[in-house]
Chain A
Amino acid sequence: MSETIYVSEPISSTETILVIDDDTDILALLEMSLVSDGFKVITASNGVIGLENAKAAQPDLILLDVMMPQMDGLEVIKRLKDDDETRAIPVLWLTAKTQTEDKLRGLETGGDDYITKPFDLREVTARINAVLGRTRPVKYINPLINAMGDSFTEEGVAELGSHLQAAAEIQLKLLPEKPPNFPEFDFATMFRSSTSVSGDFYDFIPLTDTRIAIVLGDVKGHGIPAALLMVMIQTASRLLSNESDCPGTVLKRINTLLFHNTDLEQFATMVYGILELDTGRFTYANGGHCPPIHFITGTGDGEQHKNSDLRVELLETGGMLIGAFDIATFSYDTCQLSKGDVLLLYTDGVTETEGREQNDFYGEERLIECFSKNLTLTAQSLCDVLKNDLLEYSGTTQLKDDRAVVVIKHTNANTTPT
């Protein structure tokens, strides 16, 4: 759950080590060794030059000798720590074996670790990596800075905004561009995102000439994480739709996939159904999603139905929400779409649309009422009527939640139910 990006390997070969020691043999030795380990090395043969280099070059780590003429290591580190520009740079002491007291004082003064002379070059590299390993997560703690690097500026953020816009566009492209076109059925969709990218989705997957899978769901949360999970579910359902004809099995397999590949608190709710275009049979499984509504008109397309004839069926059969629990089973059921019937699939962004009063929600009841009065309209007009009713109810076009709606209307008088 932590946002920290932990990097244990060197980020790049450009990490810079400043070595300050009055012994030029040691400087040469360390420079040779560290360069071959992939570091950039700057050397300074006394404390004064060392301080200047530290300020100018902003090294990632300083190797500092304790005993030096002119300005000793303790004075150097004091000045490093007193200066805002150099305070955060980790310091590794180089100290002779006999200088135990110095070691302690050195660590107290702010050194991060020490190496005793004579030293093993491999040990020096290991210590440097250990210290840099501790500071790397701090340096790269902000994923934005990590992702954007030098672009972490106003212009850079604007550019990120354009990336988000691009992500939203990619996501919209993943949704079917147009509802499917079949003479027997009238399809329409409505999709609105409360942020630039959405966790809601729907999909139409052609299976055979006469069968099409219809998917609609809602991934927990908003924004990029929800959208990524949505893409995962959409891909999985497209692949699984070819492998199983049973909606319950498809949901179970998506559940297993999500459970093992996402955080525990990540989940989705979704409906997966297969519509037989020749018979009007709709076989579905509902994974913890607000139930699709089947308006059974029993009258015929284009005829004004009598309200007494209208029945409403909620498609509730299925199982748990998807991805949160390992063991989940999903049952499935079938409903018969007859001439004039309307099937409405939607996400809870519709029913949870807030009204003008506090704690007032649009709700399933008003949704059913809105559709019931307009069932003679085309699927697209039903979407438009719903959009207007939501606007009238909330008094605002501002969305708090994403919305996805799929409306399917059976229009073919020639289809005979089996």
Chain B
Amino acid sequence: MFDITTDAQNTAVVHVQGKIIGSTVAQLQEEIERQLQNGNNKLIIDLKNVPLLDSTALGVIILAFQVLQRSGGKLVLLSPQKAVSSVLEVTRLTSILEVYETEEAARNAFL
């Protein structure tokens, strides 16, 4: 479900595989919490292989975004597919959440 890569600069890239709906949402939340507990406060959620996410998943991302923002960290999104992009646009989350097309660009967001 998740493939995590971390580095010494407290960056964690959470590569998600598959739809984030139903019970998968709780798994994503746990994974994000684990990364925060490990002190990784720069999070990249890689949505390249996510065909769909539901509103609860959106809630988890919003929550993590705000928690990190308040604690001086940051969350960015990487390569959403069309359906996910459209959800981010309709909800206008794109006006707040940073979305990048490449991992390099996403990492540069933390500099």
Question: A interface vs B, CB < 8 Å?
Answer: 218, 220-221, 263-267, 269, 288-291, 318-321, 324-325, 359, 361
Q: Would you call B90 an interface residue if the criterion is a C-beta within 8 Å of the partner chain's C-beta atoms?
A: yes
Q: Of the 9-residue stretches B38-46, B53-61, B72-80, B103-111, which lies at the interface with chain A?
A: B53-61
Apart from the given pairs A265-B62, A266-B59, A288-B90, 9 other A-B contacts in the complex at a CB distance below 8 Å: A220-B58, A265-B59, A267-B62, A269-B90, A269-B91, A290-B90, A291-B90, A320-B93, A361-B83
B51, A320: Cβ atoms closer than 8 Å: no
Min distance, Cβ A402 to any Cβ of chain B, angstroms: 11
Note all chain B residues with C-beta closer than 8 A to A361. 83
Shortest beta-carbon contacts, A-B, top 8: A265-B59, A288-B91, A265-B63, A220-B55, A321-B91, A320-B92, A324-B62, A264-B63
Are B58 and A320 within 8 A (Cβ)? no
Most buried by B among A266, A320, A361: A320
A115 to B56, CA, bound (A): 49
Q: Given the complex of chains A and B, what is the CA–CA distance between A319 and B96 in angstroms?
A: 11
Does B36 count as interface, using CB distance less than 8 angstroms? Answer: no
* Contact A220 to B90, CB < 8 A, known contacts A265-B62, A320-B95: no
Among B62, B90, B92, B93, point to the contact of A264 (Cβ < 8 A).
B62
Minimum CB–CB distance for B61 against chain A, Å: 9
Q: What's the count of A-B pairs with C-beta under 8 Å? A: 51
Q: How many residues of B contact A (CB 8 A)?
A: 18
Contacts of A263 in B (CB 8 A): 63
Residues of A within 8 A of B6 (CB): none
Structural contact, A321 and B92, CB atoms closer than 8 A:
yes
Give A232 to B85 CA distance when docked, in angstroms.
29
Residue of A nearest to B54 (CB): A401
Q: Tell me which of B52, B59, B67, B90 contacts A267 (CB under 8 A).
A: B59
Closest to A319 in B: B92
Are B59 and A220 neighbours in the complex by a CB distance under 8 Å? Answer: yes
Query: B66 interface residue, CB < 8 Å from A?
Result: yes
**B56: contacting residue among A221, A319, A359, CB under 8 A:** A221
In the bound assembly, the distance between CA atoms of A319 and B95 in angstroms comes to: 9
When chains A and B are docked, how far (Å) is the Cα of A218 from the Cα of B91? 12
Cα A288 to Cα B56 in complex, Å, equals: 15
In Å, the complex CA distance between A177 and B10 comes to 55
Bound form: Cα–Cα A325–B55 in Å? 15
- Contacts A264-B63, A291-B90, A361-B83: A325 and B58 contacting too (C-beta < 8 A)? no
Query: Is there contact, CB below 8 Å, between B62 and A359?
Result: no
One of A220, A221, A269, A325 near B96 (C-beta < 8 A): A325
With beta carbons under 8 angstroms apart, the residue of A288, A291, A325, A359 that contacts B51 is A359
| Contact call A264/B55, Cβ cutoff below 8 A | no
Sample of 24 A–B contacts (CB below 8 Å): A220-B58, A221-B55, A221-B56, A263-B63, A264-B62, A264-B66, A264-B67, A265-B62, A266-B59, A267-B58, A267-B62, A269-B90, A288-B92, A288-B93, A289-B90, A290-B90, A320-B91, A320-B92, A320-B93, A321-B93, A324-B66, A325-B62, A325-B66, A359-B51
Q: Which of B56, B59, B66, B83 has the most CB of A within 10 A?
A: B59
CA distance A269 to B96 in the complex (A): 16
Set of chain A residues within 8 Å of B95, measured between Cβ atoms: 320
A263 vs B29: C-alpha distance in the bound complex, in angstroms?
Answer: 15
Question: What is the bound-complex CA distance between A319 and B67, given in angstroms?
Answer: 22
Q: A220-B59, A265-B62 are in contact. Are A359 and B52 (CB under 8 A)?
A: yes
Please tell me if the beta carbons of A320 and B59 are within 8 angstroms of each other in the complex.
Answer: no
Q: A324 CA to B93 CA in the complex, in Å? A: 10
Q: Closest CB-CB distance, A215 to chain B, in whole Å?
A: 18
Return chain A residues, CB-CB under 8 Å to B93.
288, 320-321
How does the 8 Å CB contact mask read for B87-104 relative to A, with 1 for contact and 0 for none?
Answer: 000111101100000000
Tell me the bound Cα distance from A221 to B56 in angstroms.
6
- Within the complex, what minimum Cβ distance (angstroms) separates A285 from chain B? 12
Query: What residues of chain B lie closer than 8 Å to A324, measured between beta carbons?
Result: 59, 62, 66
Residues of A within 8 A of B62 (CB): 264-265, 267, 324-325
Please report the C-alpha to C-alpha distance between residue A173 and residue B75 in the assembled complex, in whole angstroms.
42
A264 nearest in chain B by CB position: B63
Q: Which residue of B lies closest to A290 (CB)?
A: B90
Q: Determine how close the nearest CB of chain A comes to the CB of B71; give it in whole angstroms.
A: 13
